[in-house]
Amino acid sequence: MMVQPARKSYYFEKGYSDLYNSIKGAWINNKISITGFWSKLSQKLSDTDTGALEKLFYIVMYVIAILSVIVVGTIVTLFLSLVHILILLCVMVIIYIAFLIMWGVDRLYLIWNKIFSPCTVCTKCSEYLIPTYLCPNCGVEHTRLTPGVYGILKRECQCGTIIPTTFFNGRRDLKAICPACGSPIYGKESKPICVPVIGGSAVGKTMFITAFIRDFAVSVVPASNWEIEHYSKEKQLLLENIVENYSKGNVRKTTDKSAISINFFLKSKDNLWYPEKLFFIYDIAGEVFGGETEDRLQKQYQYCHGIVFLIDPFSCPDILNDYFSKISPADRAQISQTNPNDALDIFIQKLQDIAGLSPSALSKVPIAVVINKTDIGGLQKLFDNTALAEIIARNSKKKLTESDAQDIACREFLRQNGLGNLVQTIEMKFKTNKFFDCSALGHSIGQGPMRPSHVMVPMRWLFSFIDRDIAKGWR
């Protein structure tokens, strides 16, 4: 255990020295009695007035006294020391067991609830279950603020302040920093839910996130009796900005080489869960994504609980050729130049190399493959009710649902248009995968408020794997 800037509890530090001192004191007392008797005896013997018989009497008396101190004193001292040691040991064992139990309870609570305090700056913090907490009075760093030899439920900081050491008595209210890089951590001991939205440049990631976040915040959250909370004014403004962009249909492309990350706490007003969920929806600028720069940002992928992989169908030459005449010039200017196959390969490589996800860990992450922009050029026809009914009828023995039919329609569409490789890679690398069609903007560029369709379907599907509470309560 690392040395902490706090006072160890009595039974782990002062208790030992007290025991040592009391045993030492008992022996010293015995020695003092013996030397006392001895000096009295020698005084009597050197006294010329004392007769020989009397001297003999004193010799017998003092020798008996000295012997009894040696025998009885030793026995009594040994016995009392033993009692002292046993009491100290018992109390120590009890306290040890108590703090081990509390330590275990604290650990299990964090692990069971998948609680973790992610740092958005570095990647190393995933090795730590709890962040470094700061003393509210002197600011000194407590790197292991858990039940232990410094205290079971609370500990005394070196400055004298009493601080809590468990999840249930206020530890998470203390200020915290990342143990690896020292950046402040806001989402302390909450349950992070991280969903990166990925895809090549201009596939509509920002649009998709805008549509999802706005509809989630404005419709799903109130209807489900949930509540959104922000940990900073800046994050709150970002969300307000999103709602405004939605109503104007004006979504900036994330051209600055940084990830937009939308984070907020989601609480249940009915207290159906605790602690709150901490949403992380990442949008990485396509240029960064394609250009393999700014690896630091990509490290955020390691907290990946579900993936949205967006495809711009018109980035595929076969599809673009077929539909070119039906696409407005404004939309043509926004077609993604990244081949979806390349985008997927780079992404998988990044997840493995930078985030350090093993192929088997990666295969457990659910992925929603979403064909975006299906409102453009009449592409919607391939996925509308008539098309789906036809697929259901064709597979009548399988008793398909509409969403199964949608999945089949999307896979077929991609295979027929030269993206069979992509479908195959997804099926090989991700155990839980489903294909969706969607239109995040809902109409041609520059035509008023966003009218997204099918954005919530893939997200709701993802959440059915990511978080049971959210899946259950989603209205």
Could you list the residues that contact Zn ion (CB under 5 A)?
119, 121-122, 125, 135, 137-138, 157, 159, 161, 178, 180-181, 183
Check: CB of residue 119 under 8 Å from CB of residue 178: yes
Q: How far is the CB of 163 from Zn ion (least distance, A)?
A: 7
In the sheet with 226-229, reading across from the earlier edge strand, the strands are 226-229, 260-268, 277-283, 191-198, 307-311, 367-371, 433-437
- In whole angstroms, how far apart are CA 454 and each of 22, 359, 374, 387, 458? 77, 30, 10, 16, 7
Cβ closer to Zn ion: 189 or 312?
189
DSSP-derived 3-state class of residue 144: coil
**Token output for 111:** 């692990």
How far apart, in whole angstroms, are the C-alpha atoms of residue 44 and residue 58? Answer: 7
Cβ closer to Zn ion: 282 or 474?
282
Q: How far is the CB of 282 from Zn ion (least distance, A)?
A: 16
Cβ closer to Zn ion: 134 or 311?
134
How far apart, in whole angstroms, are the C-alpha atoms of residue 298 and residue 296? Answer: 5
Cβ closer to Zn ion: 96 or 128?
128
Report the run of H or E that residue 197 belongs to, with start and end: strand 191-198
Q: How far is the CB of 173 from Zn ion (least distance, A)?
A: 15
Residue carrying structure tokens 């000096």: 39
Cβ closer to Zn ion: 127 or 234?
127
Q: How far is the CB of 123 from Zn ion (least distance, A)?
A: 8
Cβ closer to Zn ion: 178 or 203?
178
DSSP characters over 410-443: HHHHHHHTT-HHHHHHHHHH-SSEEEEE-BSS-S
Q: Letter for the amino acid at 400? A: L
Q: How far is the CB of 194 from Zn ion (least distance, A)?
A: 15
Cβ closer to Zn ion: 125 or 367?
125
Cβ closer to Zn ion: 304 or 426?
304
Cβ closer to Zn ion: 135 or 410?
135
DSSP characters over 272-329: -SSS-EEEEEEE--HHHHHHT--HHHHGGGGS-S-EEEEE-GGGSHHHHHHHGGGS-H
Residue 246's contacts (CB-CB under 8 Å, 6 or more residues apart) are 210, 211, 214, 449, 450
Q: How far is the CB of 121 from Zn ion (least distance, A)?
A: 5
Cβ closer to Zn ion: 280 or 309?
280
Residue carrying structure tokens 């009894």: 68
Q: How far is the CB of 11 from Zn ion (least distance, A)?
A: 22
Q: How far is the CB of 156 from Zn ion (least distance, A)?
A: 9
CA 331 centroid distance within chain: 40
Task: Tell me the angle at which helices 385-394 and 402-416 cross, rounded to the nearest 10 degrees.
Answer: 90
Q: How far is the CB of 134 from Zn ion (least distance, A)?
A: 9
Residue 249's contacts (CB-CB under 8 Å, 6 or more residues apart) are 441, 443, 446, 447, 448, 449, 450
- In whole angstroms, how far apart are CA 74 and each of 43, 64, 77? 26, 15, 5
Q: How far is the CB of 467 from Zn ion (least distance, A)?
A: 24
Q: Which residues of 440-469 are buried (b: 16+ CB within 10 A; e: fewer)?
A: bbbbebeeeebebbbbbbbbebbbbbbbeb
Cis omega (within 30 of 0) for bond into 275: yes
- CA 356-358-362 angle, to 5 degrees, is 105
Report the run of H or E that residue 157 belongs to, with start and end: strand 154-157
Cβ closer to Zn ion: 15 or 118?
118
Q: How far is the CB of 136 from Zn ion (least distance, A)?
A: 8
Cβ closer to Zn ion: 183 or 444?
183
DSSP-derived 3-state class of residue 51: coil
Residue carrying structure tokens 């989601």: 266
